[in-house]
Amino acid sequence: MDYTSLFIYTLLLLVLLNIIRSWKWWSPDSSSETFPPGPRGLPVIGNLHMINLKRPTETLMKLSKQYGPIFSLRMGSVKMVVLSGYDTVKSALVDHADEFAERPHIPMFEDINQGYGVPFSHGDNWKAMRRFTLTKLRDFGMGKRTIEARIIEECGFLTKLIESLEGKPTDLTEKTNFAIGNIVISIIFGQRFDYQYPALHRLMGLMHENMRLLGSPSVAMYNYFPVLHYLSSGRRKVMKNIEDLQNFFKTEFVDRLKQLDRDDQRGFIDAFLIKQQEECNDPNTYFHEMNLLSTVTTLFMAGTDTTSSTVRWAILFMVQHPDVQRRVHKEIDRVIGLAQPRIDHRKNMPYTNAVIHETQRTANIVPMNLPRETTKDVYFMGYHLPKGTYVIPLLESVLYDDTQFQHPESFRPEHFLDSNGAFMRKAAFMPFSAGRRVCAGETLAKMELFLFITSLLQKFTFHPAPGVTDFKVKPVTGLTISPAAPKICCVRRF
């Protein structure tokens, strides 16, 4: 028997086993009265035929209207529960934080991280790495004046780059990636990279491609059918890109070990390597190269993509809503004038603050959230969720909840303003998720968004390129949602 025939027979056997395993779920006699309801699945594929793999939240939002705020699905071999609406998601992630604190074992992310790092690690490893990462992010300035100074410096570099275009039509994607990426890079390495540095271009290209591929149908199919391990082109490309990223980081680790100084820690890598040396004789230490590689890779990719996309969404919303842009300009001129924007200005700028929050809400960067897993058997909203249940807390359903936002489909800064024009916090504003697995970089991202967006709007007016009469922004779905639009003109205000 040749290898091709062997492969085909093996694949057919695995499909048959999957049918047998899935039959209990598919059979009406096997459904549990205490498990959330949902549409009946087919053998092998489950409910996969119902899902728009390019924009799965679109299908999940529709199903929530049919089955209620908590319902179940089976996607290939993965049985999951979807939570929809602010009340339901908040109850799970905040009120039952411990019970929904785990992360499921997702094939693509297990391949990338091998259970290490922070977002997709588990148990004690997750606790140790999250604690260390949060501590070091604060040590290197997150939420402090030191990181504010770095952000302000990078705003200056970005402004000069845009000024050099002299108002000519441009796409801001690469430029904002460079600027936001440099903030993360400065925390990781202790220094920024020049925008012309070839390695910066290479790193950003790898990051950008992986964020797109991780949300692609090819990778989704692999996650739902792990048997497709060797057939998924998306998986192969992601892993090649991760290898290239991590090879770059490994080279940096070696170089930094040669100059390591306990009393002069330049960045996150130095701090980790020093901790690794301190625990080198502990066989149970979590401070080893795999945790370092996974943590640094995630900090770089997640810390760059989400914030950079949000800055671009904000600018493009200003192009779409020139009346909103004029009001922001007016508030900036009144509160800041020609001075350097600083985080302290935020408390006196309710409209600009509302615009930034409404950008995050409407842009809906991570619509499906990162999935959770129950840590034990949970009785939740009248249903029994066994330990290990795969849970999707649907963030789009929270940010677009019409019981929390009067016009959820529209971009309206007034969602975050009271009748007197004062900034108004909303409990349903949770773009960084919530609970035990809330985004570790939330504080940094909020500071970056205010300083970058305010600095850019202080210096420029943004409008469509000449000849563009129907300016539209379209969401591009990957692991996150980024904006795609015609090129825009960035014209100096003074």
Share of the chain above pLDDT 70, in %: 93
Q: At what angle do helices 289-320 and 123-139 cross, to 10 degrees?
A: 60
Q: What is the pLDDT of residue 69?
A: 97
pTM for the model stands at 0.92
Amino acid at 29: D
User: What's the average model confidence in pLDDT over 340-349?
Assistant: 97
Rounded-to-integer distance, Cα 386 and Cα 405, Å: 33
- The arithmetic mean of pLDDT across residues 73-96, rounded, is 95
Question: What tens digit of pLDDT does each residue of 172-207 get?
Answer: 999 999 999 999 999 999 899 999 999 999 999 999
Q: What is the pLDDT of residues 422-480, one digit of tens each?
A: 999 999 999 999 999 999 899 999 999 999 999 999 999 999 999 898 899 999 989 99
| pLDDT at residue 234, as a whole number | 94
Do residues 99 and 83 touch, judged by C-beta distance below 8 A? Answer: no
**Sequence ranges of the domains in the chain:** 3-492
Mean pLDDT of the chain: 91
The CATH class given to the 3-492 domain equals mainly alpha
pLDDT tens-place string over residues 115-167:
999 999 999 999 999 999 999 888 887 766 789 999 999 999 999 999 999 99
Whether pLDDT at 18 is above 80: no
* pLDDT value at 485 more than 50: yes
Quote the pLDDT of residue 9. Answer: 47
Q: Is the pLDDT of residue 36 over 70?
A: yes
The 10s digit of each residue's pLDDT in 332-341 is 999 999 999 9
